Structure formats: C-alpha cells, structure tokens
Amino acid sequence: MVNFPSSPQPTSDDSSIHSFLAMRHTVWFFFIAMIVGGLGAARLWDGAQTAMGLESLPSGISSLAMLLGIQIGMAGFAWLTLKRAGVQVNQMVGTFPPKYNWIGGLGWAIALMIFTFSFMAMVAYTAVALFPDAIADRMIPLFTAIAQEKNPFWVDVCMALLGSIVAPLSEEFTFRGLFLHCWSAHRSMSVGLILTGLLFALLHPQNFVGMFVFSLVLSLLYLRTRSLWVPIGVHALYNGIIFSGNLISLATNGSGSTGSESPEAFAEATVNEAIASISQARFGITAGVFLLLAGFFVARFLYKNWPGATTQLPYTYNLLMSQES
C-alpha cells in the first residue's frame, strides 16, 4: 500500500540526538502552551468583539479562535523548543518525497478511518446495549446544545479548513517532530512510539484507542520515509475526508432543529433514533466485520514495520546523509 524509498544507511552518530537529550519537562510546557494559546486567542477575540460591537456574530467563531490558538500555541512551543536545543528543523522535517506513492497514502487514510470509526461504532454498540437509558440522558443535552448553536455554513467551512490543513501541520510537527524524537532519545524508539501515541490519543479522547493506533501508524510512516511530509499528508487526507463528509451533510440537510420544533425535542428525537439504530444486531455485526478487516491490515503494518535495533530516527538519518553528501 505504501512505497518506501530505498537508500544507503549512513554511519550512525549518537551526537545527533544530544539536542533532544537536553530537553526536559517538555510535556508540562506543552500543555501550558496549549492552554495559553487557546484561552488567549478566545479572550482576544471576545475583547475584539466587544470593542468593535460585533457581539451578534455566531458563537462558533469564539470556538474557532480558541482551536486556532491551541494549534498556534502547540506549533510555536515545538518550534521554540527545537530551535533552543539547536535542532536543525529542516533535517527533522526532511525533504518532500518525490517518488512517494500518494495513492497508497490515501489508502492508509481510508484504512485508518475505517479502523477508528468501526472501533468507535463497536464501543457505541456495546454501551447502548448495556446502558441505553444512561446514554440517552447524557447525549440529549449535548445534542440540544448543538441544535441551539446554529452556526452559519461559512463557520463550518473555516472549521474544516482548520482541521484539514492547520491541524495536520501543527500536530505532526509537534508529535512526530518533537515528542517522538525526544522520548526516543531519552528512552528507546519503541517507548517513544508508545508515549507519543498516548499523548496524541489523550488530546483526542473521543476515540482514545483508535487515535492511539492512528498515531502509531503515522509515526512508523515517518520512520520509514524520513519525511514529515508523509504523516502530514496522510493526516490531512484523513481529516479532509471527514470534514468534507460533514460539510456535504450540512449543505444537504442543514443543522439544528427546523420549523416549530424546539431544540430539546429535536435532540431527543435524534438521540432516540440513533440509539434504536445502534442497538440493532446488524449494526454491531457490520461494525465488527469492518473492524476486523481494517484491524488486520493495520496490525500487519505495525508488525512488519516496528523499528529494530538498527533503525535510526529521521533526524539522525537526514542529518548524517546531509553531512556525507
């Protein structure tokens, strides 16, 4: 499904990871940067709204500003941390692979989407089967809030652009570029893969296990191609497909309650209809079949491409190759 470049292995040089070994307390500063970036952007936007008399604008813009601030804070933190440690960022990113099979990259985006969504569907099927009333009680207020928000379509388009372009760039630069290298240098590459996946999943808790596996696959793609552009591209394709489907649904069906129906009645009807659909046996069987099929390909890829004792970090490889050329 993926074509990896074949190239000679450069002579190993442990001095290339000294910069990453010097990094300390990166996780704590990372969370501080995200909080400051998100809250700061939201506060700035709220202040600008008040100063310019724009309080009537959709509330979704504040959420958009906060998410953008989180991404900027995340990427800014990673950039400053790497530069202060003396890391050559261009070698960490690597060159854009001209011969990379992007059809295979799209295939991985689709395979990961099937895996993550079918896993989430199985969790939903199990939860609804065991606790239908509790699920309804929790979901109705959430859907009521969504129905009441009624953001205009252009806000949803901006959210899709943020999720499909900005998020893959900032998240891959941070997780694969910074944390994978840092934790692999301090411990081992296997531990670095797992810790990076756990942190990535922690920030995507709506599907923790699926996002953990998603992170592992992207990290292995990075290790094999030595180019950060590959996981960025696969991540962007994954998010782009999801957001495109959401935009098509909104453009076709609209969002929120319609006519005289109250948001509460709309939410209750939507949740009850979803629970009735999810509780059917064919829903669980379909989700299970898709999970097994996608899980087979993902597990096979993880097994075949898990790093060995001689595997080098992309930064080490790219730096040494640049010195030998």
**Average pLDDT in the chain:** 87
Please list, in sequence order, all residues whose beta carbon lies within 8 angstroms of the beta carbon of residue 39, skipping any fewer than 6 positions away.
Answer: 66, 69
pLDDT at 181: 95
* Burial per residue of 198-223, b for 16 or more beta-carbon CB atoms within 10 angstroms, e otherwise: ebbbeeeeebbebbbbbbbbbbbbbb
78 within 8 A of 174, measured Cβ to Cβ? yes
Instruction: Look up residue 125 and give its two tokens.
Output: 């099927």
Q: Which SS3 state, helix, strand or coil, does residue 170 take?
A: helix
Rounded Cα distance between 197 and 167, Å, is 16
Rounded Cα distance between 20 and 185, Å, is 6
pLDDT at 325: 67
- Give the pLDDT mean for 258-278: 77
Closest CA to 185 of 63, 29, 55, 315: 315
Higher pLDDT, 321 or 5: 321
34 vs 7, 69, 90, 288, 302, CA distance in Å?
Answer: 38, 8, 24, 36, 30
pLDDT at 63: 84
281 vs 223, 286, 287, CA distance in Å?
Answer: 41, 9, 10
Residue-wise pLDDT for 88-145, tens only, equals 999 999 999 888 899 999 999 999 999 999 999 999 999 998 888 888 888 878 777 7
* Burial per residue of 80-94, b for 16 or more beta-carbon CB atoms within 10 angstroms, e otherwise: ebbeebebeeebbbb
Domain boundaries, the chain: 16-130+151-255+280-310
Residue-wise pLDDT for 45-101, tens only, equals 777 777 776 666 666 788 888 999 999 999 999 999 999 999 999 999 999 988 889
- Give the pLDDT mean for 296-300: 96
Cβ atoms within 10 Å, residue 23? 20
pLDDT at 307: 95
Helices (H) and strands (E) in the chain, counts: 15, 0
Please list, in sequence order, all residues whose beta carbon lies within 8 angstroms of the beta carbon of residue 28, skipping any fewer than 6 positions away.
Answer: none
* Residue the block writes with tokens 């252009």: 154
Q: What's the whole-model pTM score? A: 0.89
* Burial per residue of 44-68, b for 16 or more beta-carbon CB atoms within 10 angstroms, e otherwise: ebeeebeeeeeeeeeebbbbbbbbb
Check pLDDT > 70 for residue 257.
no
Instruction: Give 42-66 as a DSSP string.
Output: HHHHHHHHHHHT-TTS-THHHHHHH
What DSSP designation does 165 have? Answer: I
Residue-wise pLDDT for 160-176, tens only, equals 999 999 999 999 999 99
Residue-wise pLDDT for 188-235, tens only, equals 999 999 999 999 999 999 899 999 999 999 999 999 999 999 999 999
